Amino acid sequence: MSTPDFQAYRLHAGPDGAPPQGRFETLSVDQLSPGDTLIKVAYAGLNYKDALAQAGRGGIVRAYPRIGGIDLSGTVVHSADPALRPGQEVVVHGFGIGVDCDGGYAEYARVPRDWVLPLPAGIGLQDAAALGAAGYTAALSLHWMEHCGLAPDQGDVLVTGATGGVAGIAIDILSQRGYSVCAMSGKAQAQDYLRSLGASDVIAPPDLSVPIKPLMSARWAGVVDSVGGKLLAHALASLRPDGVAAAFGNAGGAELPSSVIPFILRGVKLLGINANSPMPLRRALWQRLATDYRPSRLALASRVIEPQDLPQALAAMLERGSIGRSVVRFS
């Protein structure tokens, strides 16, 4: 069965080292990156990594042209894997899509069969995209934190960069599981939004121009950190004995000006979260996202935009002008 030409938002190398240029184009399936599974894209998420790629920052994309979008949800058109049936609802995230190969910002995507995860019962295509790489990262963070002993009766959990997509979903999941969540955000206007997601308290970031002591007042049983840099160092110094932090972001910088003191005197744990997990772990955590990790306020933490709004929405993410999770609707 032939597939009609379709629309895609594709990045092209800028002239003389200038930022890449993004534009909508009409493509055929043969112009997509190789793969044995064709998916009709329903929704694709907007992620900070996508925004960096559009702006040409961080060396995210190394070969052009490239269709962006590091996660997507949709239905199988055809696949070399007989277990992936035509019409089956699936999600794809990571594995280099939108970076090393074409991603979700198109009406069709073509990927290897091993990257495709059938949606568990109870999660539809829109919710799957609203979760996407962000929801999976939040679930993965909590999975490993609880594996290291975090439990609701141990004290408050801090979530930094709280208006971001991963952080908002993390607040929702944590509160559903009985944790007392403190959201940290520099956006004063977001207090009501963060409380609506389940945060019991909302605080502003500390003054990071003040030197960070090796140990500070022990306040947090856990930290979900999407910022990195000095803010993560401050949070580590504020963890309670045997506290645990999960780190997955570097919007506040890639350096970590900390010391070993919180680790050897309080026994704190710092977990690095890489969402490019092996497929068995992905399946297990998506099943949990459909059951005991399922966020109940996803509609509050996400919005749907149309393809023509995609470039402006990505640009707004870099200007701290976005709150929550956005998904673009393709079909």
pLDDT, tens only, 1-13: 578 999 999 999 9
What pLDDT sits at residue 56? Answer: 93
Rounded to 5°, the CA angle 134-323-288 comes to 30
What pLDDT sits at residue 322? Answer: 81
Tell me the pLDDT of the chain (331 aa) as tens digits: 578 999 999 999 998 888 999 999 999 999 999 999 999 999 999 999 999 999 999 889 999 999 999 999 999 999 999 999 999 999 999 999 999 999 999 999 999 999 999 999 999 999 999 999 999 999 999 999 999 999 999 999 999 999 999 999 999 999 999 999 999 999 989 999 999 999 999 999 999 999 999 999 999 999 999 999 999 999 999 999 999 999 999 989 999 999 999 999 999 999 999 999 999 999 999 999 999 999 999 999 999 999 999 999 999 998 877 899 999 999 8
Question: Which residue in 281, 280, 297, 327 sits closest to 140, CA to CA?
Answer: 281
Distance of alpha carbon 238 from alpha carbon 244, whole angstroms: 11
Query: Can you give the three-state secondary structure of the chain, one letter per residue?
Result: CCCCCEEEEEEECCHHHCCCEEEEEEECHHHCCCCCEEEEEEEEECCHHHHHHHHCCCCCCCCCCEECCCEEEEEEEEECCCCCCCCCEEEEECCCECCCECCCCECEEEECHHHCEECCCCCCHHHHHHHHHHHHHHHHHHHHHHHCCCCHHHCCEEECCCCCHHHHHHHHHHHHCCCCEEEECCCHHHHHHHHHCCCCEEECCCCCCCCCCCCCCCCEEEEEECCCHHHHHHHHHCEEEEEEEEECCCCCCCCCCCCCHHHHHCCCEEEECCCCCCHHHHHHHHHHHCCCCCCCCCCCCEEEECHHHHHHHHHHHHCCCCCCEEEEECC
Rounded to 5°, the CA angle 226-94-83 comes to 140
Phi and psi at residue 186, to the nearest 5°: -85, 5
pTM: predicted TM-score of the whole model, two decimal places: 0.95
What pLDDT sits at residue 320? Answer: 79
Distance of alpha carbon 242 from alpha carbon 239, whole angstroms: 8
Whose tokens are 């970076």? That residue is: 99
What pLDDT sits at residue 1? Answer: 57
Query: Can you give the three-state secondary structure of 229-268, one letter per residue?
Result: HHHHHHHHHCEEEEEEEEECCCCCCCCCCCCCHHHHHCCC
